[in-house]
Amino acid sequence: MFEDIRKVLLITDMDGTFLPASKIPSRRNLEAIARFQRDGGRFSIATGRSLQASQQYFEQFDVNAPIIMCNGGMVYDIHTKQQIYDVFLPEKARDITEAILKAEPEVGCEVLLLDGVYVPQMTEMERQHCRICKVTPKLSDVRDIPSNWYKVLFAREPDKIDSLISYVENSGFSGVDFVRSAPVYYEMLPLDISKGSALAELRRGCGMEDHTIVAVGDYNNDIEMLRYADVSFCPANATDEVKQAVDHILDVSCEEDVIAEVIGCIYSKISV
């Protein structure tokens, strides 16, 4: 499968996979990525983050393939600043968001649009998320947020988020999907949209049908991407569901240079 490194696309989740808890990419990972790209490999990221929350990293490393953002809602070329593909939540997502916030008044909430992050319900958990992502939220009532929502993120303490998930699962909301993207985050996405569906669009839209796609992820919102990829890896800190979905489980966690390990595995199969 690995015959030519110039025909390999490596795409990785960010938080919990490429990024450690510090949110600072490791030197070893960055050096491995640079070598991989010099030899002709294509490198990209697939994240639940918005463009504003992702672009802080592009001065530290380069991506030479379009990126996936908003958990599959957008495929974006950071060099041409063009959207290759995007899909939005239906307008009924506004009503669903209002219902959830009314039922769960202590849940933080943010809505991702192309022009920024809108927050209709600020909590300490949501404030912390904005700090981590280094975004300045736009405080706004649900009804005043412009259209074209990529996703809605709900934030709750890990020992209390089950109440939110239970409410959603028992409410029978239709026309949208929900996924847990971290112990403290639960997200509403367009129906049948995931990092996996976006990766398929990236492959078709960028003419990479002849590339071997290697995907790396750690959480449940990565599962569809990992299943779609030709070869998949996860770090030791991945959820049990992710470990069941991948081809290879690494012995190292996101704190121990996961991407450098994966690139090492790719080189071990290719003569450069």
Strand partners, 155: 108, 185
| Mean pLDDT, rounded, for 23-30 | 96
In this predicted model, what pLDDT tens digit does every residue of 195-239 receive, in sequence order? 999 999 999 999 999 999 999 999 999 999 999 999 999 999 999
In this predicted model, what pLDDT tens digit does every residue of 118-169 receive, in sequence order? 999 999 999 999 999 999 999 999 999 999 999 999 999 999 999 999 999 9
Mean of per-residue pLDDT scores for the chain: 95
Share of the chain above pLDDT 70, in %: 99
Q: What is the pTM of this model?
A: 0.93
Predicted local distance difference test score (pLDDT) of residue 272: 43
Which structure tokens are listed for 162?
A: 């089950």
| Mean pLDDT, rounded, for 54-69 | 92
Quote the crossing angle between the two packed helices 258-268 and 27-38, to the nearest 10°: 30
Domains of the chain: 5-86+193-268 (3.40.50.1000), 92-190 (3.30.1240.10)
